[in-house]
Structure formats: C-alpha cells, structure tokens
A and B are shown apart, each in its own frame.
Chain A
Amino acid sequence: MYNTEFRGKLIEGNKSLGQISQDIVRPIDAKTPRWWFISMGISLVMLGLGLYAKYITVTEGIGSWGLNNSVGWGWAIINFVWWIGIGHAGTAFSIFLLILRQKWRTSINRAAEAMTVVAVMCAGLFPLLHMGRVWNFFFVLPYPNTRGPLWVNFNSPLFWDFVAITAYLLISASFWYFGMVPDFATIRDTTKSKIKKAVYGFFAFGWTGSSKEWLRYEALAFILGGIAAVLVVSVHSIVSTDFAVSVVPGWHTTIFPPYFVVGAIFSGFAMVLTLVTMIRKLYKMNDFITDSHVDAVTRVLIFVSLIMGTAYFTEVFIAWYSASEYEYYMFFKNRVFGEYAFQFWAMVICNAFIPQLFWWKKIRSNITAVFIISLFINLGMWFERFNIVVTTLAKDFLPAAWAGYSPSYIEILLFIGTLGLFGAGVLMFFRYIPMIAIHEVKSVAKYDKPSHERKHRNHEE
C-alpha cells in the first residue's frame, strides 16, 4: 500500500532486481576513470601537507600553532568539532531514518556511513595532536597503572569525550561493515576477476543469503542501530559539555547539548548531500539517487535549519533577557556587533538563512543549486564552531588577558591534511565498495511497481 504518488519514486527506470545489482556493482568492475586518479592525487598531496604539519607539531610542539595563553583552543578544536559533527550523519541517516521507516534512506545510507567513519577518524586526530605529547595519549585510558597510580579525572568532560568518541567509532564502523556483508557477497558471486572473488569473498564472511542468515542479520542491524542511536546523541552532547560545564559567558548555557546534536546532524546531512550529488553526477546514479531523494534531504535541511535559527535566536535573546552584563557583552558587544561580527553573521546567514532557499521547489530540484547550498552549510557550520571556540576565549572576564587569535600555517596545513584524508577515504570507498546498499535498495524495489503488479504481495505490508 506504499504510496509513491507524493513521496516520489525510490528507484527510477522500472528495474528488475538483477539490474539493480548490475548497475550498482558496475563501477567496481569498470576501469578506473581518469578523474579518480586526478582527485586521488590531489587528496594525497593534501594528505602529505598534513603529514608535514603533523611532523612539525610533534617535533616542535604546540608552540608552532597560533595559540596563546588566552586562546588556548583554536583551529584544532574547531576542526575537531566540525569533523565530529559531519561524522554524525551516517548514523543519523541509518538509524533515525531506519526507526522512522523512511524508505528513501536505502539509496543514501551507505555513503553516509562511509563518510561517518572517515570523518570521525579525521576528528580524532585533533585532540590527539593537541595533547602535545601524542606518544603519551594512552594516559587518557583509565586503567590501573604504574604512574602513581595516576587516574584520569572522571569529572572532566574531556575524558567523557574520549570514551564517547571511541565507542561511537567502534559502533558506527561495525554498523557500516556489517551492512556491507551481503553486498560483498553479491560482488563475490558476480565478479569475473579471481582476485576480487577471493578478496570480497574473505570480507563477505561466507555469506550465503539463507533466510536464517537474513533473520539474524536484521536482528543485528536493529540492535547495533539502537545502540548507535544513543551514541549519536551522547557524542555531541558530550562535546558540548566540553564548553558548557564551564562558567564562561557564551559557553555556559543549557541549550548546548541539544543544540550541538542538531548542529551535528545539520552539518552531517549537508555533507551527505554534497557527497550524493557528486555520486549522482560522477557515476550517473540518477536512477537510484532520484530527484525525490534529493528533495527529501533538502526538506530535512530546511527543518533543521529552522531549529538552528531558533537556537541562535534563543541564545541571543536569553543573553539579553538574563540581564547578566557578561552574557550581554559576549553576545552583543563581541558577537552580534563587534570584533567577531563577521564570523557570527557568516554563521547565521549560511546556516539559518541560505538553507531557507529550499522552500522553493525550483531550487530543490536544481542539483547545482543544491550542491552549492550544501557547501554553504558546511562552511557555516565551521564558522559556528569558530564563533563558539574563539570569541569566548578571546575576551573573558579579565580584560588584561584579552587576546586575538589567528592560525599559523601549520594549523591550516593540518586542516588541509584532514580534508585530504577525507577525500582519499571517500575516493577509496567510491572505487572498492558498492556506493549504494544493494540489498536494501532491492528491499524497497517493489514499492515502485504499479499496484496491480504487486497485488499478491499486499498481505506482506
């Protein structure tokens, strides 16, 4: 009884199940296109620049960054939060849309999950490097040790962060991997190359596709999904407590946990949109990532953008309403009008205003416009983190300690390095893994058939 009249088609072109497998697996068996090598080259160069910056950071120390005593957190933390935010999309897509039975998720979730895993790895780099002595990073693990014994501070959100992110990386990576097992089996069974057969066969864990396997498989997906749904909220809530448990104006505000989670989902969805519009264009996957898929993501973005706008507005309003002169100063004299007005308004315009263009159907259905707006959101979310991290630290309670901040070239190169890592990771994913979850797309294929063709299946729904 699923009605595609309003919801839009899930798969275009009236494909048979066999065609679906062929279409999705085709890029893996085809010759690697030239643009792939070019973009991989660029990504690797960027990655190399990042490695150089890491070398300098490790050998010379944090002094090579542009930080000072007042602004002790700069680009590193901004980028950390930014990447973690992007890393939320995969789970947001897979889990929340799975729970909400949104069938359009099937064409997009694989790309989103892949992105999650790479983005979380990019994010993890920054706190590690920020420790200064990265080779001692295991000090943050709480275990009985010979250092005193010296325990971590369990009251510190920085420690909660470590736990949450590690757990999140493990769960989202396993969720992603187990989701691919049946698809690896499909490649193993269809490919002609012997090497591929062996490699994909190894990763497919001997999947045969019996009904018992599917039964267990689906139970596993739901259990992992349930755990990840909690983690996705906890990770960014905890990232927000890094700021919010302090007593500094601009950081200490109760809205932070949900506001960070929503912001993370926002930036993640934007990055997913960037990515799937690219997949659609480069691999001509229009039949799977249809106009209605893009439409659905953009509509989610309008809604989330509205929440973001409300949150910005609430913060500014309460800063005034609180009648606390420090809060007032932070927001009105520093952010809204003041030294950091550019970053503040860049954030508001990119996150709260520009996505509202999606109200117009014309813009929603113009892929170029959608792509550009998604980039603006990515940018806006970066400015949001700048706004939070730097403006508060730059001007705290002691005017004598006020300081400016600008990143050194090492910090910029570190960021470029993570962009390179992300690019390389995503390109590897394009090349070697089915970009779209084959078995999940097949499971929704029946809904696009005209009702008289699937009448005999109605009892299933």
Chain B
Amino acid sequence: MNLDVKYVFPSKLKMLCIALMVVGVITFVAGFLINPDKTWANYLLNNFYFVSLSIGALFFLLIQYIANAGWSAVFKRVPHAMGAYLPIAAVFFILLYFGMHSIYHWTHEGIAETDKIIAWKLPYLNIPFMMIRIVMFFALWILLSRYLKKLTLKEDLQGGTGFFEKSVYYSRVTIFVLALTFPFFVVDMIMSIDVHWFSTLFALKNFIAAFFHGSAIIALIVILLNKVGYFPMLNNSHLHDFSRYMFMLCIVWGYFWFAQFMLIWYGNIPEETAYFVHRWESDWKTLFFVDLFINWFLPFIILMPRKTSRSKPVLIPMIIILIIGQYIDLYLQIMPGTVHENSFGWLEIGTFAGYTGLFAFMVLNALSKMNLYPKNHPYIEESIHHHF
C-alpha cells in the first residue's frame, strides 16, 4: 500500500470555511453593537468549545502512545492536526481580557468589599493571575503538542524506533501537564462564572467531556476523509474501535454527570443546590434533560449493538448529534450565569458557524501539510490490517 499520500485541501472547501468565518465575523460585529454582554458569553463558549476538542484529541493521541495501541496508528495525523487550532485559541483567550467584565461577576470593581466569598477568593481569582495562567497553560500545551508533532514528522523522514520511544515518553509528560493544568483552566473559565458555587468533580467532568467529544471529532474527520477517498484502509474494526471510545466515554460522562448531580441533590446544601436550582427553572429545564439525553442516553443505546457501531451511516449522524451535545452542555454551564435567560438565536448560530469554519480550516490546513499516514510508525502495519 502506498503510504506517501498527502491530503489536498480542496479550494471549494477552503472557500466554504472562509465563508463561514465571514459569517462569524459579521455576527460578532453585529453582536457587539447590539448586545455586547451576550456576545462575550458566546465568545467564551465557542472558544472553550473548540479548545476542548483540541485538548480532547490531544489526550486521545497520548493514550494511544502510552497504551501501545496499535489499531489507531494510521489515523494519528488527525489528532496531531487538531492541535493546530491551539495557537489561535491562545490569542482568543488572551483577548478575552476585554470581555471579562461582561462574563465574570468577580471582576467588578469593589465587589470584594461587599461580597465576603469573592474577597476570600481574590488571591486566586484576580485578573493578572488569571491572565498569567492562561498564557502559561497555552504555552505548555502548544509547546508539547508541537513537539509531539515534530517527533512524528521526523519519524517519517528518518525512520527508526527512537522517535516512537521519545513520543511515548513525552506523551507521559504531556498527560502529567494536562492533569495539572486543564482542571484549573476549567475552574477559571467556567466554574468561576458562578463564583459562589463549587464542585470537586466539575473540572474532571469537563475533561471527560473534552476527551469524549474530541474522540468523536477524530472519528468524524476520518470517516469523512474516507468518503472522499483517503484512508482506504478504514474497515469495520477501526470503526468499531472508534465507537467503543465514544461508547465508553459516554458512560463515563453520564457517570460523572450523575455523580455530581446526585450528591448535590442528596446533600441539599443551599450553596451547592443553587447551581442546579437555577438550571432547573422553566427556562432551562428542557435543555437540562436534553443534555443528559443526547450526551449519555442516545450514544449508549445506539452504540451498544455491534452492527450500529460498525456502520458509517449510523456513526456520522451520531457524531453530529454529539457535536450539538457538547454545545448544549457548555451552553448550560455558561449562559445561566452570564446571560441569565435562555435566548438561543442568530447570535449563537452565527458565532458557532464562524468558529466551525475556522476550526475546520486550521485542522484541514495542518493536515494537508503533513503526510497523511505516519509511514514509519512501528505499528503502522498492525493498524492497516487491524481486524478483530
């Protein structure tokens, strides 16, 4: 099999991505003129959404390395390419500086004097320290994901097993770094919106959500590329393995969701239940259950049978539903504390379209610059002939 293949980013698709980006920019401009607060909330939501996909994909990649997984070797360039979105995300998150007042209640001048809880949190929750954290986190993530990409690209040119061993080692380092940074990132960006509220599981639940939806997007990209002629080796066993990731992660997601909700509900302490009471009120109640339904129940039922988890016509709509699922999950975490009312409309659709275009552009562009298959990967043969 010829493994010297490059993905050609078709100009039509490029134009579509750019068109979506233009839609996004126009929506943002209009949004800032009409309702800046709500627009900033959307800005945060979309930024976090796509960073979570990149980080989730990165984590997927790391797991493949450290677990010596053979089946996925041939698809590894896709998660590598998804890391290409991180530098832009870093810039966006730094620009969030200008919107902090719209999103984070605790940044308001003088609030600490009247609010004892915020005063207590000031050593951690203050704008300079938060900006330092954002810069530090992104610097680490970008450095490590780029280094891993460099190693695999060098492996293409020089071969040998040294690069693989090095990748395994740096995967461990990266997991270590992610474990210590991503939870704080979640606390900063999302949990501090409802600044009085706290939950120990919250950050980890978002980590799992990122891993879950990141893996789903990898599968989607692989399947779509297969439809246009790339990845000819993609067979039922590969699809089944992708489905297994989604199936397993949907269970873990549901488990974390339930663990957090049930313990707070059972404990019934006002400081904690306030968060859910807010989301239980009429405006959000439907979404609250829809969130659980499409992120846990649907994939759990649909991906259980062997037949459906090996079928492209099932997997593509399933993943598209999961894309919506992650949006709803973040929408429910961000909007009630910022916009306070459930008003989904053109602003949400336009900004999401813009980011989708940008993300797709960045990922596909990065993918087109690499050889599509890591041809000297030690497990490449195993991966091509994967069958179980």
Chain A: residues with CB nearer than 8 A to chain B? Answer: 1-3, 5-7, 99-102, 233, 237, 241, 244-247, 252-258, 299, 302-303, 306-307, 309-310, 313-315, 318, 320-324, 359, 458, 461
Contacts and interface: CB of A to CB of B under 8 A. Distances in A.
A254 B202 contact: yes
Contacts of B385: 1, 458, 461
A256 B201 CA distance: 8
B203 A241 contact: no
B346 interface: no
A315 B68 CA distance: 32
Q: Nearest 9 pairs between A and B by C-beta?
A: A255-B200, A254-B201, A323-B120, A257-B259, A1-B382, A322-B198, A245-B266, A323-B117, A254-B260
A7 B65 CA distance: 11
Given A254-B263, A255-B201, A309-B179, 5 more contacts: A5-B378, A254-B260, A257-B259, A303-B175, A321-B121
A7 B203 CA distance: 33
A318 B184 CA distance: 11
Contacts of A323: 116-117, 120-121, 196
Contacts of A458: 385
A246 B267 contact: yes
B12 interface: no
Nearest to B184: A317
Contact of B269 (A5, A237, A252, A320): A252
Given A310-B179, A314-B200, A258 B161 contact: no
Nearest to A318: B200
A233 B168 CA distance: 29
A241 B266 CA distance: 10
Interface class of chain A by DSSP: helix
Interface string B242-279: 00100010000001100110011011110100000000
B266 A254 contact: no
Nearest to B203: A314
Interface in B168-210: 168, 172, 175-176, 179-180, 183, 187, 196, 198-204
Contacts of B172: 302, 359
A458 B382 CA distance: 10
B263 A245 contact: yes
A138 B165 CA distance: 56
B336 interface: no
Contacts of B183: 310, 314
B175 A254 contact: no
Interface of B: 66-68, 70, 116-117, 120-121, 124, 161, 164-165, 168, 172, 175-176, 179-180, 183, 187, 196, 198-204, 244, 248, 255-256, 259-260, 263-264, 266-269, 271, 378-379, 381-382, 385, 387-388
Contact of B267 (A233, A237, A247): A247
A1 B381 contact: yes
B378 A247 contact: no
Contacts, number: 104
B379 A461 contact: no
A398 to B, nearest CB: 17
A362 to B, nearest CB: 15
Nearest to B269: A247
Given A1-B385, A245-B267, A299-B66, A254 B179 contact: no
Contacts of B198: 318, 321-322
A3 B161 CA distance: 12
A6 B120 contact: no
Contact of B255 (A2, A233, A299, A303): A233
**Which residue among A3, A253, A313, A323 has the maximum number of chain B CB atoms within 10 Å of its CB?**
A323
**Which residue among A241, A322, A458 has the maximum number of chain B CB atoms within 10 Å of its CB?**
A322
Given A241-B263, A299-B66, A458-B385, A258 B204 contact: yes
Nearest to B202: A254
B121 A252 contact: no
Contact of A255 (B124, B204, B255, B381): B204
A256 B267 CA distance: 13
Nearest to B164: A6
**Which residue among B255, B256, B260, B267 has the maximum number of chain A CB atoms within 10 Å of its CB?**
B267
Nearest to A307: B179
Contacts of A314: 183, 200, 203-204
A189 B120 CA distance: 73
B68 A7 contact: yes
Contacts of B259: 237, 254, 256-258
B255 A257 contact: yes
Contacts of B388: 101
Given A3-B379, A303-B66, A254 B200 contact: yes
B204 A6 contact: no
A315 to B, nearest CB: 6
B60 to A, nearest CB: 14
Contacts of A303: 66, 175
A3 B387 contact: no
B49 to A, nearest CB: 23
A314 B165 CA distance: 31
Contacts of A1: 70, 381-382, 385
A5 B162 CA distance: 12
A261 B202 CA distance: 17
Contact of A321 (B67, B187, B381): B187
A303 B117 CA distance: 35
Contacts of A257: 255, 259, 263
A448 to B, nearest CB: 15
A2 B70 contact: yes
A244 B255 CA distance: 15
Nearest to A321: B198
Contacts of B201: 253-255, 258
B166 to A, nearest CB: 12
23 contacts: A1-B382, A3-B378, A3-B382, A5-B161, A100-B67, A233-B255, A246-B267, A256-B263, A258-B204, A302-B172, A306-B175, A310-B183, A314-B203, A314-B204, A321-B121, A321-B124, A322-B198, A322-B271, A323-B116, A323-B117, A323-B120, A323-B121, A461-B387
Contacts of B179: 306-307, 309-310
